[in-house]
Structure 1
Amino acid sequence: MNFTLPTYTPPDFTSPLLATAPIVTFDKVKKDGVAPTNYHATTIFPEYFKLDIDKWELVAQSRMDSVVVYTTDGRLDVREFRRLKKGDCVVVGRSVNGEEGIYVHTQGFHFPEEERGKFSFRSSRSRETAFSIDYDQLYGLLEHDRREGRIIWVVGPAVVFDHDAREAFAKLIRQGYVHALLAGNAMATHDIEATFFGTALGQQLYHQATIASGHYHHLDAINTIKAVGSIEQAVENGVLKEGVMHSLVTNHVPYVLAGSIRDDGPLPGVIGDVYEAQDRMRAHTRQATTVIGLATQLHTIASGNMTPSYSFDKQGNVRPVYFYLVDMSEFAVNKLADRGSLIARSILTNVQDFIVTLQRGLKKRASTSPE
């Protein structure tokens, strides 16, 4: 199946309402972290602001539930409330159809494959849904965005609890399908445990047998890396020889390990400050063209809140950001889809099976594609 990005149609700024709309209003921040009264809060949609009599500007690298600041060098910058500084000029106004120089464009993308009548059976996604076409569409998307976009993965520890899934995901990294990875201490710890001991939480990866004293393994893994100094140093010294973290380091793929109150250790490099972790994660999500969340509900929701529904291709054209949610739980994927993404796709399956199927499918397509 060939992949083509959907067409984006910008607003008609010659329409009477938008042509006669007033220039957007700004108000200054009077106290750090406190937005002016009547501030405009951003959505996931493309948002335009009228800066001059005939100039509407689309804000770039947006995120929901933030404010828009007009910078001293004449740019529109989307910022979290906590980043506001006294004197910042913030967009104010809560009408979003042009009445206050603000236009939220909800109908920019056209997806013909999603057209259907007012009534249809099986329109929601459940365990009974057939996902074959989703895999085919995802193969095409990942092949396209490996070259033309930026693919961000949000990964839970279940991905490294299985021998074949862990190997498949490491191959995806080496093959260029991972441009950044967002995870927590657990995923990295159990991946490293697998390298050192062949187990995850003391259970053998392939046979699933519980190993005597295996409950020490993840702690020993953390202790070993801390003794070396860092994951990168462990790779350089030959202590860490394979696995997901090894593939990330050797292929120079950036990753963010966000800490949790329940963490063991944690590993060196895990970020304990939640807002520093958020900043590091957003540095990647704001550039994302595809995000894939694997069996990690809260981490994926957090990433989704930082990801707009649109981005720009290399030619500067507006394109959608695709968001895939993979989990065995209908509740989890529906909860994630409810964040409001235009392009949220849920795939209900065992995450280990998903990764293995995905990697094999991409390999098969690569072997049969013309030179």
Structure 2
Amino acid sequence: MPPYPPYTPPDFTRPDLAAAPPVHTEAAPRDGVLPPGFHATSNHPEYVHLGGGRWFLAAESRMDAVLILEDETLRVVEPRLVRKGERVVVGRTENGEEGIYVHTTGFDAPAEAGGDKFTFRSRGTRETPFSRSYDELYDILRHDRDHGYIVWVLGPAVAFDRDSRDAMARLIEAGYCHALLAGNALATHDLEAALFHTGLGQDIYTQALVPRGHYHHLDVINEILRHGSLARAIAELGIGDGIIRACLERRVPVVLAGSIRDDGPLPDVITDSRQAQDAMRAHARRATTVIALATQLHAIAVGNMTPSYRVLDDGTVRPVHFYIVDMSEFGADKLANRGSGQARAILTNVQDFMVNLWHNLQG
């Protein structure tokens, strides 16, 4: 059995939904401009009523996009990508009043009878035990390695420790990563570790500060720029370990999105934010499991791009699993407050998380 709950669709025979009107659309007045009253999507399953009791589920939905209706086919499109004349779904209600229904409980477990109204420890915090979360994640990753699309969103902390860096590389080599999304820093410090055994000038095992080590990441960027690309530099410098090297060897797509602060950046970093968004979204739309490690801004960005569900080729609707791993509750709370309420937090340092994961998945 797949390691996720079955999907329960809405009951469209309910009187309120049976009486719902057909959805209304209006033409986009020009490229990138929406008609007044447009419907902005969530990352929950969204249905529109085409009349006669025919409700269509959008094959994917993500936050802050719009629905385009074409010949009884629904597309989810970012506003800037809408073309003049396309029929945009309009309506600001979500319970069928305007032919739009947002379904938030499709994967909920049946309510337990007689449950207490007041309980302690109902919210995950740093004192929450995560043993069950780990066990569920192991099962999900084993399943999705062969039957899904696993996307990792990495902050540079993963490369600052020898064991976590090695664990991530081995997971990639073992097929547990289908795409990697990160920024300039992750690649820079992964290659700094390969060439100097440091992360921002600190030994990645002993944590000892290396004299003039604060030059290392700048030297790495300069060296990669001299070679012209990550792939060429790794080959010509004979780099035989690390996260980026493992991705290139396994042909795992790597999307590096730049920021204002980036040193360099490396030649493979996408510095146009819209191009980076499109490149990241291509993988977020395919994701069945996302794991975001110690990177608040990238985690929130990918959370906004990722649906909470996926419609499989056989019509089955399955959940998209989203894990955020961080030392702080703040990052997890901020992600949830930005609309990714389905994200599950594991509050620990990423080094322990990565080593734990590899020890339980290897072999």
Q: Indicate whether the TM-score tops 0.5.
A: yes
Q: Deviation per CA, 1:247-293, whole angstroms, max 9, x where unpaired? A: 00000101110001000010011000011111111111111111111
Q: What does residue 223 of structure 2 align with?
A: 224
* Secondary structure of the structure 2 residue equivalent to 1:237: helix
Normalising by structure 2, we get a TM-score of: 0.95
Q: CA offset at residue 162 of structure 1? A: 0.2
Question: Equivalent residues in 2 for 1:152-231 (5 A)?
Answer: 152-231=151-230
- Structure 2 equivalent of residue 82 of structure 1: 80
Q: Which sits farther off after the overlay, 32-41 or 176-185?
A: 32-41
CA distances 1:185-226 after superposition (whole Å, capped 9, x unpaired): 000000011111111111111111111111111111111111
Distance 1:274 1:117 in 2: 48
Helix, strand or coil: the match of 1:304?
Answer: helix
Amino acid at match of 2:90: V
Q: Deviations over 1:311-359 (max 9, x none)?
A: 1235331011111111111222222233343532111111111101111
Give the 5 Å matches for 1:137-152. Answer: 137-152=136-151
1:106: how far off?
Answer: 1.5
Give the equivalent residue in structure 1 for 2:359: 360
Give the conservation status (yes or no) of the 8 Å contact 2:336–2:342. Answer: no
Does structure 2 retain, via aligned residues, the 8 Å contact 1:337–1:345? no
What secondary structure sits across from 1:139 in the alignment?
Answer: helix
Question: Aligned-pair distance for 1:227?
Answer: 1.3
Q: Residue in 2 aligned with 1:267?
A: 266
Cα deviation code 1:21-45 (max 9, x no counterpart): 2221110111322211111110121
| Counterpart in the other structure of 1:287 | 286
- The residue number in structure 2 matching 1:6 is 5
Distance 1:309 1:102 in 2: 18
Alignment of 1:341-356 (within 5 A): 341-356=340-355
Displacement after TM superposition at 1:94 (Å) = 1.5
- SS, match of residue 152 in structure 1: strand
1: CA distance between counterparts of 2:290 and 2:171? 14
- The Cα shift of 1:236 comes to 3.7
SS of structure 1 residue aligned to 2:222:
helix
Letter in 1 for 2:241: E
Aligned partner of 2:100 in structure 1 is 102
> In the alignment, residue 168 of structure 2 is paired with which amino acid?
F
Amino acid at match of 1:279: D
Maintained 8 Å contact 1:172/1:359: yes
C-alpha distance in 1, partners of 2:172/2:117? 42
Within a 5 Å distance, the mapping from 1:44-55 to structure 2 comes to 44-55=43-54
2:151 alignment partner AA: I
Q: Secondary structure of 1:69's partner?
A: strand
Aligned mates of 2:264, 2:284 — CA distance in 1: 27
| 1:337/1:346 contact within 8 Å kept | no
AA in 2 matched with 1:291: V
RMSD: 1.8
What's the TM-score, normalizing by structure 1? Answer: 0.93
1:12-161 equivalences under 5 Å are 12-71=11-70, 74-111=72-109, 117-161=116-160
Cα distance, 1:69–1:17 mapped onto 2, change above 3 Å: same
In structure 1, C-alpha distance between the alignment counterparts of 2:298 and 2:219, rounded to whole Å: 26
Identical columns (%) = 58
Give the corresponding residue for 2:326.
327
Distance (Å, rounded) in 2 between the aligned partners of 1:51 and 1:86: 22
Structure 1 contact 193–217 (Cα < 8 Å) conserved? yes
Q: Which residue of 1 aligns with 2:298?
A: 299
Measure, in 1, the Cα distance between the counterparts of 2:116 and 2:282. 40
Cα 1:3–1:69 change in 2 (3 A) is closer
